[in-house]
Each structure stands twice: as C-alpha cells, then as structure tokens.
Structure 1
Amino acid sequence: MDATPSRRRVRRSLTPLAVGACAIALAGGCAGTGPAPSAAPSQQAVVSRATSGLEDQYQTVIKDVLPSVVQIGAGDALGSGIVYDDKGHIVTNAHVVGSEKTFDVSVATGEKVLKASLVSSYPEQDLAVIKLDSVPDGLRAAKFGDTDEVEVGQIVLAMGSPLGLSSSVTQGIVSAVGRTVSEGRSGGGTGATLADMVQTSAAINPGNSGGALVNLDSEVIGIPTLAATDPEPGGSAAPGIGFAIPVSMVRTVADQIIRSGKVTDSGRAALDITGRTVVDDEYQPAGVAIVSAEKGGAAEKAGLRTGDVITRIGDTRVTTITSLTEALAGDRPGQKVTVTYTRGDSKKTAEVTLGEI
C-alpha cells in the first residue's frame, strides 16, 4: 500500500428523506364522530430523532476533545498535535516536526501562539514529542482509549488542521485494523513501515498529521498519519482511505520519550543487517542482498553473511527492502523466524532469533 504523510507546506502569500404519504380511509368518512386512531410515528420523525441523537454525540465529543488538539508550525510546514499531559507535552508525527527543534503552537484555548521545543523524535514509528516552553492555564490533556477495543464499523472523528484550517473535524468509520503501511519519503515522509495501523474512512488531508482520531466516548484511539495514494504514475490521494497510528504504540513511544528523552524499547523486530534490493534476469525485484551483518546481531548469529540474498521470512515472500520491512513489522524481538535465502546457486534456510530496531 502506497501512502503519503498528511503534512501541509505553508504557502506565504442530510439529504432529504423521501417518505411516501400513506392515506388511511376511515369507515364512515373523514367526518366520522368517533376519535381517529392514533398514528404511529412517521419514518421521517424516527429518522429525525436518531439524527438528532447522533448530532448531540458528535457535538459532545468535539467539545470534549478539540481543546486538546493543537496546530504545530514547524519551519515552512504545518501539522497537528495532541496535548498529552498537563506538563505541556504534545505528541505528534515525526514527519510533522521534521528536522526542526523549535515550533509555533496554536492551542484551542485562544492564547497567542506559543513556543515549544523538541523532546525527541522517533522516525522509525513516525512519532515525536514536543514540549511547550510555558504551559497556559486551562490546557487540557486528551483522554486516550484502548487499542484492543477498536473495532471495524465504529464511528470515529478526525480532528486537526487540514490545509491549515485549525480545529477542523471530519467523520467516518474504522474501516479495518491491523494494516501494515509503508510511508514514502516524498513530502517529508520518514520512509517508515508502520504495523497495526487503524484504517479509517474519515478524511485525512495535508495538515491532519499528528492530530486525533477519536471514538464517540471522546477517547483518542489513534494519530492520523497517512492517506493512501493511487499507485499509478501521477496518482492522487485515494479518498476515504486514511491510516492512523494505534493508541497503544502512541502511548508506548510517548511515555518512553517523556521518561528517558528517547525510545529505549521499540518493540520492533530486526535482522540487524544492511541490505539492498536485487533484481533477476528480467530486471524484476527478486530479494534483499545482505550488504553487511551487524557483528553479534540476529542474522550473523544464525549464520547469514554478506552476499546472501533473502527471499522469504516465514511464508512471506521478500522481493524488496520494503517487503522485508513489512514482513518483519508484525514480529517482535526475540521471536524465532525461518529465513529463506540463496548463497550462490544454493537455496538455504536458517532459524533466526530476531533482534530489535
């Protein structure tokens, strides 16, 4: 799946419901002396009440969560962020902060633009934490939900600053869970491969990156990060296909950065190699050649060496560096996997105990 980060560059310069009328002929004519039977609620009235109830839920969620969503100015780019705690920490995407160290932050409480500084960025998971230099009164931390309770079909709202329009809200559903998506490097992307992503139909536009994907209990369940793009040459964004980093990963990374100033336990598996994509006689991607294997690393311990070409991880075919990363994305450090590779003209396998990124 090709996907692009939803960061924006700054340029300076109810459809009416048709209800059929049902005429009831009363014995004795319309002017009968007896009381008319009471009519059941019309379909339109039922729909109206249901719509009103859902609107009330939307408005409650927006009032609860929007004050915790900020706009982040990072150099010539704009993105979004979520207030993580009452100490002024804000979690966002690594591709939003880019290479910048200081930021302009606009908060929903209406104060002037505030200054913030980078705590740490973790491009491998496209997450970062920044901290306000001064914490304003009334700053509200968001409430974070539980990844295990996210289900396909749930109604969700995406909040952020798409196209620089701060405090914007779109709605949709959770379309799928457990997606693995590789982020491009164009448009400031980190090139990361991200596992267990939440797919949503809520519109994710440039500037939404780093914002909040929330459920109807006013809980953040993810950080909108990517929008799918048509893989055809010159393809544009694919409407209704966006991806959010799950809240479990957000909390894992943010907590480590706030506590230690960096990520100390990524939970991401690795072979501990440097590799490159190789092609076959028809110039098609055919595997990943090991350029170097870290001394004492997972691959070297299993007997793999420079020049070996990896073609499978378990039952998953490997043709490129990206497909290798995606094959490892769902695995964990310490897990054992079977690696199929070629050495010269020989096909071999090795059981590898995975290392950690």
Structure 2
Amino acid sequence: MKRAETMDPHPRHATRTTIVAGLCAATLLLGGCTGGEEKPTPRSPAAAAPSAATAAAPAGDLQAAYQKVVKEVLPSVVQITTGRELGSGVVYDAQGHVVTNAHVVGDAREFRVTLATGGSPHTARLVSSYPEQDLAVIKLTDVPQGLRPAAFGDSGRVEVGQIVLAMGNPLGLSSSVTQGIVSAVGRTVSGGREDGGTGATIGNMVQTSAAINPGNSGGALVGLDSKVIGIPTLAAVDPTLGEGPAPGIGFAIPASTVRTIADQIIRSGRVTESGRAALGITGRTVLGEGFAPAGVAVVEVARGGPAQRAGVAAGDVITGLGETDVATMSALAQALAGLRPGDTVPVRYERRGEERTASVTLGEM
C-alpha cells in the first residue's frame, strides 16, 4: 500500500493523515432520530407508517438507478496485471487506450488486460506514464470488437453528498461495484513512495466515503449519470488500526485532470503541458533545533526560471509560500499543487540568517 499526506485546501486549517493506494466503496447508511417531550398525536395504524409498497418505491428507484449505472459503465472497467501486481483501468477510447494509475503500471512495459465482459486476457503495451500526476495510458495491441469506452464527466460540477459508485478489482475480486458519497472536493494529497508509490502530489482531488482496498487503483468513480468523475488512487490509513485502512476516506484524481493528461499522452506520447505550478528549484528538507524540519534548502535554481528571476539563489532556505508555512519538500509540493502557472505569490526564505521575501511568478513543471 502507498502512503501519503493530505492537506486541506485552506492552509490555515491544514490537517495531515497517512495515505495508501487503492479504493473500494462503503455502504451508504441513512438514519434519523426523534427528541423532545411532546407526546405524539394518536393516529390510525394506516397513518402511522407508510405502506410496504410506498416504502419500497424510493428504494426500488435507487436500486434501478444503481443497476443502470453498473450495466452502462462496468464493461469499460478492466483488470490490469503486470506479473506480480494487479490493478484496475478504464477504457478511454475505441482505439484501445486504457487510462490507469502510474503506480499500477510501475516499471512494466507490457500488461495483461482482462475485460469485465470476460474472455481471455488481452496484451497491452505502455504508451506513457506520468508519475508526477500518478496517471498512465496503456494500449491494447489487439482491440476486441465491442470495446466500450467510458464517458468522463465534468469533475468541476461534482458536489459534496453526491452518490457515487466505485468500480474496480479490489484484492483481485474482479468487476466489483460498491457505493459511497463525495465527502469533499479540492483536496491536495501527496502519495508515498513505499511499495512502488510515485510520491506524487495531486491537487483538486475528490474525497469519497469509499472503503479502501488495494486493486481498485486506476478504476472508476462514477456518478449516477453513468459518467466517470474520477480515478480512485489513494486512501487513508488509521494508525490506531495498526496501519490498517481508515474507513471512509478515499481520494480520486478528478476527471478533468485525467482527460488533460491522457489526451496529451495519446496525442504526443508524453505530457507536454502539465498545468502544474513550479518554482524552478531543486531542494531538500533541512532540520532545525531538535532535529525538526525547518524549511527547504535550495540546492539549485533553474537558469532563467521563476525563482532565479525573483532573486532566490542556491543556499537560501524557503520557509513559506503564500500564506502556507513550508517546513518540508512535501509541504512545498502541496502548496504548489493548489496554484497555477502564472500565479504570483510571495516566497519567504532565509539567507545567512536574514529573513527575506520575494514575489515569484510561478512557471510550469
């Protein structure tokens, strides 16, 4: 499982938690309660409770909606095997391109892909991997008839409380479908590098109440309109459970990011415009008193890059970006993930013990 940290999009109320890769979904529970001292007005038995037919109608409607989504989307979700590793993917187009997570493909170049509709595994080859956003595209070498691409929705319209279904292959249980809701949007999440993780810091992620299981990574998080709103990628770990999964905290890369990266890979064979902000430095975390992280030491600045143009030099120690305090490289990456190329932000840094501030117009990674 892959670890990571999350940061609330509002830096003054930042929180952190450990993350692992893989996403399944949890059961959505609805309930109510009563209170107060007022005595109920007597009613007839017929008025006191709805009939069985009336109570069953809404449940039947929701069940039908779930089944419709499953029927329309599940054939687009595949199982990807690299030899030792197993994950999920989503059919992106009729030419046989499949989008998945970079940490699912790892260092592999060839894969076996099993369709949800069954049959023998198909061979696929890597088109390109983009670990910086934990996304990759592979392509089936022999495109089967009837291959069904998924429809990707507008992740900018995703709302908290929206019902979603997670589809994938958790723990090797192929073509599994579970449910949850959108818990939050706009999260910035950093993945770890343990067990093959990419260490990517990804902004604007969709948080879901889904339960966590390895193997769902690269699958589909789908709304009731049968459109993919995200690619399940990371999930929280609860230290009190012995590093086991924390129920109800999972993260998906938004569909808008998936389309941007996948389209570039398919068109050019690589990512040509990341849309990710950059300072133009190489840095490392430095320790202060008590061996606590105290900032990011600038090891090298890119010639003509944003930092150099603003006067930041090798040897400086960055301690803040905008309103966010920066004590580690991870914190700096998380702060940058919430910004865009072309944004101008104050960068606080120390030079030979003197505190300084530079106004930096960010470049692109």
Residue among 74, 79, 83 paired with 2:82: 74
- Deviation of residue 41 (structure 1)? 7.2
Residue among 62, 66, 70 paired with 1:62: 70
Q: Which amino acid aligns with 2:135?
A: L
Residue equivalent to 1:262? 270
**For residues 321 and 44 of structure 1, what CA distance do their matches in structure 2 show?**
59
Q: Which amino acid aligns with 1:223?
A: I
Size of the aligned set, in residue pairs, is 338
Find out whether 1:249 has 2:257 as its counterpart: yes
Describe the SS at the equivalent of 1:292. strand
Residue equivalent to 2:135? 127
Residue among 101, 105, 108 paired with 1:97: 105
Residue equivalent to 1:33? none
Residue equivalent to 2:21? 5
**For residues 121 and 101 of structure 2, what CA distance do their matches in structure 1 show?**
20
Superposition RMSD in Å: 2.4
**For residues 321 and 262 of structure 1, what CA distance do their matches in structure 2 show?**
26
Whichever of the two has the greater Rg, that structure is: 1
**For residues 328 and 240 of structure 2, what CA distance do their matches in structure 1 show?**
19
Q: Output aligned runs, 1:89-168, within 5 Å.
A: 89-168=97-176
Find out whether 1:46 has 2:54 as its counterpart: yes
**For residues 353 and 328 of structure 2, what CA distance do their matches in structure 1 show?**
20
Moved over 3 A (4+): 14-17, 22-25, 38-41, 231-234
- Deviation of residue 234 (structure 1)? 4.4
TM-score (norm 2): 0.88
**For residues 95 and 24 of structure 1, what CA distance do their matches in structure 2 show?**
61
- Deviation of residue 328 (structure 1)? 0.5
How has the CA–CA distance of structure 1 residues 288 and 231 changed in structure 2, closer, same or farther, with 3 Å as cutoff?
farther
**For residues 262 and 7 of structure 1, what CA distance do their matches in structure 2 show?**
27
Residue among 167, 189, 210 paired with 2:218: 210
**For residues 331 and 24 of structure 1, what CA distance do their matches in structure 2 show?**
61
**For residues 43 and 323 of structure 2, what CA distance do their matches in structure 1 show?**
65
Residue equivalent to 2:14? none
8 Å CA contact retained: 1:3, 1:226: yes
Residue among 339, 343, 356 paired with 2:351: 343
Residue among 231, 238, 241 paired with 1:223: 231
Identity of aligned residues (%): 63
Q: Which amino acid aligns with 1:210?
A: G
Q: Which amino acid aligns with 1:170?
A: T
Residue equivalent to 2:188? 180
Q: Which amino acid aligns with 2:310?
A: A
**For residues 292 and 339 of structure 1, what CA distance do their matches in structure 2 show?**
16
Residue equivalent to 2:315? 307
**For residues 16 and 288 of structure 1, what CA distance do their matches in structure 2 show?**
48
8 Å CA contact retained: 1:81, 1:91: yes
How has the CA–CA distance of structure 1 residues 123 and 99 changed in structure 2, closer, same or farther, with 3 Å as cutoff?
same
TM-score (norm 1): 0.90
Structure of higher RCO (CA pairs closer than 8 Å, 6+ residues apart): 2
Residue equivalent to 1:87? 95
